[in-house]
Amino acid sequence: AKTFAGLKFRGIGPALMSGRIADIVIHPDFPSVWYVAVGSGGVWKTENAGTTWTPIFDDQASYSIGCITLDPQNPNIVWVGTGENVSGRHVGYGDGVYRSRDGGKTWENLGLKESEHIGRIAISPKNSKVVYVAAQGPLWSPGGDRGLYKSTDGGATWEKILGGGEYTGVNEVLLDPRDPNVVFASTHQRFRNVAALIDGGPESGIHKSTDGGATWRKLTKGLPEEDMGKIGLAISPQQPDVMYATIELAHRKGGFYRSEDGGESWKKQSDYVSGGTGPHYYQEIFASPHQFDRVYQMDVWMHVTEDGGATMEPVGEKHKHVDNHALAFREDDPYYLLAGCDGGLYESFDLGEHWKFVANLPVTQFYKVAVDYDEPFYHIVGGTQDNSTQYGPSRTDNINGIRNSDWRIIVGGDGHQPAIDPTNPDIIYGEWQQGNLVRHDRRTGEITFIQPQPAEGEPSERFNWDSPILISPHDPARLYFASQRVWRSDDRGDSWTPISGDLSRGLDRFRQPMMGRVWSYDAIWDTYAMSMYGNVTSLSESPLVEGLLYAGTDDGLIQVSEDGGKSWRKIDRLPGAGEFFFVNDIKADLHDPDTVYVCVDQHKRGDFTPYVLRSTDRGRTWTSIAGDLPERHIVWRLVQDHVKPGLLFVGTEFGVFFTVDGGGQWIKLTGGVPTIPFRDLAIQRRENDLVGATFGRGFYVLDDYSALRSVSAESLKQEADLYPVRDAWWYIPRRPMGGRGPAWQGSAFYVAPNPPFGAVFTYYLRDTLKTRAEARKEDEKQAVEKGEDTPTPGWDALREEARELEPAIVLTVRDESGAIVRRLTGPAKKGMHRVAWSLTYPSTRPWTDHAQSGEDVEPNGVDRDAGALVAPGTYTVELAKRVDGKLIDLGKSQTFRVVPLRDGGTLPGAKPAEVVAFRRELAELQRASGGAGRVLDEAAKRLRAIRETIDRSTADYSAFAAKLRDLELRVADLKEQLSGDPRRDVVNEPGPVSIGTRLWFADAGTRSSLYGPTPNQRASYKIAKRRFAELRASLNRIVGTELPELEQRLNAAGLPWTPGRIVPGE
């Protein structure tokens, strides 16, 4: 994987609607420091109240976060429980408890790796070594690390102190703020599979210990006697004997309970229980630290009680996203709320009357992605978890990048599988949950509801939460869609015909065993916000054989039709995959009519094994190609390169992998990518871009992956390689906000990066280019490991090491005539690397000692070495290495084109060659004038040194005074001719127009346009050129003749050395 780390994905967000927040902690001493646990996006930290963010958990083994806690005695110690705690159909899973001792800079896993979902962590305020972990345990299977665990040695070891059967974990744990040995915990019996969720049982309840968990009592007085589901708890900060509980019961009912005696007895205050998606998704309560009996309950609409639960009212969420999960308070502000919901973070400074959205947290959960073939840049559309279907550009033609305002909503709700007509980017298909399919008209913004409907007398359709839509590769007007049967439309969804019967097993989910038995109708079922069961989840049609269709279901079937749906062949077994697999993806091969791939998933049966299989006989037999994909990496999606048949990509639960040999070996692409699930992948064939939809970090784009087509075991044995170069767009970027990046909108303004402007060169090095010193130290390290001596290499060798230049890779760009137009340097370490050329000649600015200034770029981020734009045309890039100053050709080159992005502007301008020719002439004059400015500065410095030296010497002053003064005045005159009168400038008073001002006008008028020079700009250039010729002649006489003659006289007179003179003496 390290070999390919230089191929970096580009995260493009967006942060338009952010994503689900699981937990929030505000630092008790520094209220601008927040830690945010993102449900499926890692942990983020801000030190300036959300102005800027840093993801601090990206390199860990899990991305799904349940809770976050700060050590009360040392808030710099951060505890994280991985595995989200909402029991949703889409949640990821964790691998235990993590701790950071340095505010999130470094992490250590402290065990409970089989817990998978952690609800809460509590730390004794009197002893940091005493830690309690409420582990909900696996959602999809029995067993694992579930229950309440206690550590008395800071997480080195754990003891299970409360639990139940193999399906019962602990949802929450609370410590009495007066006595941390008094512990409260809510147990939670629950189990989910593909078909349903049972979110409660007889083992759910509230428990109390008064001896730090050594013994427990189940609290029952005043609590429901029936089976309970998810229970949320809170203790009043003002009167800790007062406790609150929200309890889920069957049929989406329940109630809010209050205790005044530390949980010994309870009184039901109201029937209120969280609803919306279902109580399993919320059921967390937060007692206000500022007002007794004020309690907030997380729900689709956040509720608050001011009287301990007797009455519950909506907090008020105008212009705020719904589905709340977390809430934090500031101790110093009783009106402040920081809420986390499915749409991200919101602040209120008036107890919820108004909300401020945190619009720079790109943690959207995308299920699926599609791309169009719009020109010049393509668009990306994706369906999200509760944040609609979002559509935006893969890049922009401006200097800022991709802003939130560049995105739009295609259709609301939970967005899922989209599609875009490959021949018309104005036709976009999207859907909200349960197969509610629409066609969006990009021109008008209108949407037409086109979901297939059963005929009269037919039963309701069973659509998956994420129903598959497919545009036929043989006709863009032909659509396939699926419920429990496959539908076909030949008029872009206006009308539909079913082309299959029920392709599922047709099982009744309420009659299937769960937790070891079949449950009553009155059990705590929660199927409201999940798929129907027994439906088609994936569709594919062979691009080589029209009517060769594949369908995969959620209950372990693959169906094949070779006649356009007239008949179907059922497959119910796959080698090693077990029964009732979920078909995440099925893909007909792009190059072979008989080959098909399938990605199946058993994680909802507790099996996280990656399953990827291939059939070369249209599904009759199958072979696993999962190969060396890691464990826990369930596979979501597979895409195949349209050029090289063996180049495949898969999106897994923790990243994206590729293979160049059809699955023999898989390699993870790690460049620029956090630990995150890639739920979907799409290839934009024109650009050779790989686009990934991540479930918790937005979209990622691997720009131009075509280099991977050249990768093989043999090719990687070469010393170096240089890969084909994509055409580069030639244009002047727009400046819609004035400045670059966020411009002047502040650091909180979110903007995602464009690809580098210009041409991008990709090369490979088999070995790192090392200096003599680096090679010696590596040899010495190996010798030490072997117990051998490491003698000093000798002074001559050390001298050579000290004088050696750093090695580098050099990329030389030539035009069609073979002339060098630019020379670039790149990394010299082994592996793949990318270097961008900005389509410019080298800068003509005078040399500056950047090593002393410490600045390689200007304050606005522009490369100092960039000069005038080159002309469109054909160019060649060559690869070489530079070792100790010697350039060695590596024998690799590629030819590419520079192509105009736009066909002119509103007004007809000059031809590109004329535009470039003028800019080059101008650059040459700027080179000369810039050099003249430096020469004048140096001459003035030499003259000043001469005057100071004469003043402190015993030489005859009159022998030098007249000539020295003459030269000083003439140099000052020339400086004013070149750059203007500084005395006038300081008071903004115009004077004679300087050469520099003439050049500035000619440059400023053409720098930001390809229109070409106007007559006015040409005239200004001509004036500057004529006047500069006169100035240069005068300056050359001064520095070439007159000043050296004066300095020779100083030498003859024996005056001390001054700058510019030769070494004094014989």
CA distance 477 to 187: 54
CA distance 421 to 471: 7
Answer yes or no: is pLDDT of 1055 > 80: yes
Query: Helix, strand or coil for residue 925?
Result: helix
Q: Which residue bears the tokens 């044995």?
A: 717
Q: Name the region of 262 (left: φ>0; alpha: ψ -120 to 50; beta: rest).
A: left
Beta strand segments in 736-807, E: 751-752, 759-765
Please identify, among 186, 219, 252, the residue that sits at the C-terminal boundary of a domain. 219
pLDDT at 1064: 78
CA distance 654 to 122: 28
CA distance 490 to 565: 14
Q: Is residue 484 in some structural domain?
A: yes
Residue type at 700?
Y
Clarify whether residues 691 and 815 are in a common domain. no
To which H or E segment does residue 522 belong? Answer: none
Mean pLDDT of the 337-349 span = 98
CA distance 303 to 246: 12
Domain that holds residue 467: 366-512+529-711
Query: Which stretch of 373-382, 721-730, 846-855 has the lowest confidence by average pLDDT?
Result: 846-855
Sheet strand arrangement including 820-826: 728-730, 886-900, 873-883, 808-814, 820-826
Peptide bond into 237 cis (omega under 30): no
pLDDT at 858: 44
CA distance 852 to 965: 33
Q: Look over the chain and give the mean of its residue pLDDT values, rounded to a whole number.
A: 95
Split at pLDDT 50, 70, 90, the class of 291 is very high
Please indicate whether residue 860 or residue 214 has the higher confidence score (pLDDT).
214
Q: Is residue 745 in some structural domain?
A: no
Mean pLDDT of the 906-922 span = 93
Q: Is the distance from CB of 969 to CB of 943 less than 8 angstroms?
A: no
Among 114, 109, 121, which Cα is nearest to 139's?
A: 114
CA distances from 396 to 297, 343, 379, 401, 692 (A): 42, 25, 10, 6, 18
Q: Is residue 53 in some structural domain?
A: no
* Other Cβ atoms closer than 10 A to 268: 17
Q: How many domains does the chain have?
A: 4
Mean pLDDT of the 622-626 span = 98
Clarify whether residues 385 and 478 are in a common domain. yes
Mean pLDDT of the 607-634 span = 97
Answer yes or no: is pLDDT of 864 > 70: no
Mean pLDDT of the 811-834 span = 97
Clarify whether residues 887 and 975 are in a common domain. no
Rounded to 5°, the CA angle 662-667-673 comes to 130
Q: Is residue 246 in some structural domain?
A: no
The 3-class secondary structure across 344-389, one letter per residue, is EEEEECCCCCCCEECCCCCCCEEEEEEECCCCCCCEEEEEECCCCE
Write down the pTM of the prediction. Answer: 0.95
Split at pLDDT 50, 70, 90, the class of 1065 is confident
**What's the Rg (C-alpha) of the chain?**
35
Query: Helix, strand or coil for residue 983?
Result: helix
CA distance 22 to 41: 10
Answer yes or no: is pLDDT of 954 > 90: no
Among 593, 615, 663, 671, which Cα is nearest to 635's?
A: 663
Q: Is residue 72 in some structural domain?
A: yes
Split at pLDDT 50, 70, 90, the class of 865 is confident
pLDDT at 860: 41
Answer yes or no: is pLDDT of 188 > 50: yes
Residue 541 backbone dihedrals phi, psi, to 5 degrees:
-125, 135
Answer yes or no: is pLDDT of 1006 > 90: no
Q: Is the distance from CB of 46 to CB of 52 less than 8 angstroms?
A: yes
Clarify whether residues 946 and 983 are in a common domain. yes
Please identify, among 219, 252, 270, the residue that sits at the C-terminal boundary of a domain. 219
Q: Is the distance from CB of 363 to CB of 696 less than 8 angstroms?
A: yes
Residues across the chain: 1066
Clarify whether residues 210 and 130 are in a common domain. yes
Answer yes or no: is pLDDT of 855 > 60: no
Mean pLDDT of the 278-284 span = 93
Clarify whether residues 848 and 887 are in a common domain. yes
| b/e 1017-1029 (16+ beta carbons within 10 angstroms → b) | bbebbebbbebbe
pLDDT at 454: 97
Q: Is residue 176 in some structural domain?
A: yes
Mean pLDDT of the 324-339 span = 97
pLDDT at 383: 97
pLDDT at 857: 43
pLDDT at 849: 79
Mean pLDDT of the 564-577 span = 97
pLDDT at 853: 47
Clarify whether residues 883 and 954 are in a common domain. no
CA distance 647 to 642: 9
pLDDT at 724: 97
pLDDT in tens, 45-62: 999 999 999 999 999 999
CA distances from 103 to 125, 252, 339 (A): 18, 40, 22
Query: Which stretch of 73-77, 539-543, 903-907 has the lowest confidence by average pLDDT?
Result: 903-907
Among 823, 1043, 1032, which Cα is nearest to 930's?
A: 1032
pLDDT in tens, 877-894: 999 999 999 999 999 999
CA 648 to centroid of chain Cα atoms: 22
Mean pLDDT of the 572-582 span = 96
Dihedral angle over CA of 399, 405, 406, 407, nearest 10:
150
Answer yes or no: is pLDDT of 851 > 80: no
- What percentage of the chain has pLDDT greater than the value 70? 98
Answer yes or no: is pLDDT of 859 > 50: no
pLDDT at 1: 77
Clarify whether residues 976 and 887 are in a common domain. no
Dihedral angle over CA of 117, 122, 127, 130, nearest 10:
-30
Strand partners, 24: 36
pLDDT at 854: 44
Clarify whether residues 893 and 1017 are in a common domain. no
pLDDT in tens, 478-506: 999 999 999 999 999 999 999 999 999 99
Clarify whether residues 813 and 884 are in a common domain. yes
Q: Is the distance from CB of 571 to CB of 557 less than 8 angstroms?
A: yes
Strand partners, 674: none
To which H or E segment does residue 54 belong? Answer: strand 54-55
pLDDT at 848: 85
Q: Is the distance from CB of 44 to CB of 68 less than 8 angstroms?
A: no
Answer yes or no: is pLDDT of 856 > 60: no
pLDDT in tens, 511-536: 999 999 999 999 999 998 888 999 99
Q: Is the distance from CB of 317 to CB of 301 less than 8 angstroms?
A: yes
CA 366 to centroid of chain Cα atoms: 12
CA distance 843 to 851: 18
CA distance 645 to 685: 14
pLDDT at 414: 93
CA distance 355 to 42: 24
Please identify, among 196, 219, 242, the residue that sits at the C-terminal boundary of a domain. 219
Q: Is residue 338 in some structural domain?
A: no
CA 581 to centroid of chain Cα atoms: 31
Clarify whether residues 821 and 922 are in a common domain. no
Residue type at 233?
L
CATH for 149:
2.130.10.10
Clarify whether residues 893 and 958 are in a common domain. no
Q: What is the DSSP letter of 53?
A: -
Answer yes or no: is pLDDT of 477 > 50: yes
Q: Is residue 789 in some structural domain?
A: no
